[in-house]
Structure 1
Amino acid sequence: MREIVFSAIYQYDFNEDVETSSDYLERELSFFSMEDEMKLRTRKYFESILKYRSDIDEVIRKHLMNWTFERLASIDKNVLRLGAYEIIYEPQIPIEVTLNESIDIAKKYGSEQGGKFVNGVLDRIARECASTEKKHL
């Protein structure tokens, strides 16, 4: 589910066309056998990340160390968007799950160093932005 969301927001990053990116998301969903509930959750993540994109980007900017948002590779930027969204807006997902999944996606589509970078940024975001309840999941 997260990989499909990642690929759709990555697609949006290049064309900034919601309709094209939504069509891409639906095509990707058609390739996988998923329960309807998981498909709905995938769409919700995608739509919410686009809705809160500027807020999410601002959170990421604040937690970058010795780096600027504009210099981020698109893969890392979109993995961070997905991870930050989940940390801030999905209270039932444990932080460790978000970190592990985000690192795996960053390594799979980027580099080993990207995984370490994503881990560091998301860890800082989690420490500062995650709810108290979420920190105790």
Structure 2
Amino acid sequence: METIMIQEPDGATLDVVSTALRMNGYRIYSVADRNENILEMIRGHHPKLVLLDCWLSKTSGRQIAHWIKAHFPRLPVIAFSCDDNIAEEYRRLGFDGYLKKPFDIDVLYNLIDKHLHRRKRQISEHA
């Protein structure tokens, strides 16, 4: 069972995403407190993918994505965003992909599958 870490400040969105991914067989570790050390949590829980709200209040999702990529360059980091420009901006912001809110649950499943399979290919190519 693969672990996905989710940092989403909106409780309703977090519940929907967590439930949907659990129903699809993923182990979910949600980060409710934006002040937690996400790098330490990644080291401790070994997620295969991170879903991160793009516009967190104190520390930007962009800054967190760059921290993650500096320490875990192969770990896919996906942006959650209500921003209408996220399709054009996500790569510049340091994310591997994006999920525009509101979203269809099938889009979430496809996005997760796409990035987890891409990561598996990258790992096998470097083995």
TM-score normalised per structure 2: 0.32
| Higher CA-based Rg | 1
TM-score by length of 1: 0.30
Task: Decide which structure has greater helix share.
Answer: 1
Q: Say which structure, 1 or 2, has more relative contact order (CA 8 Å, 6+ apart).
A: 1
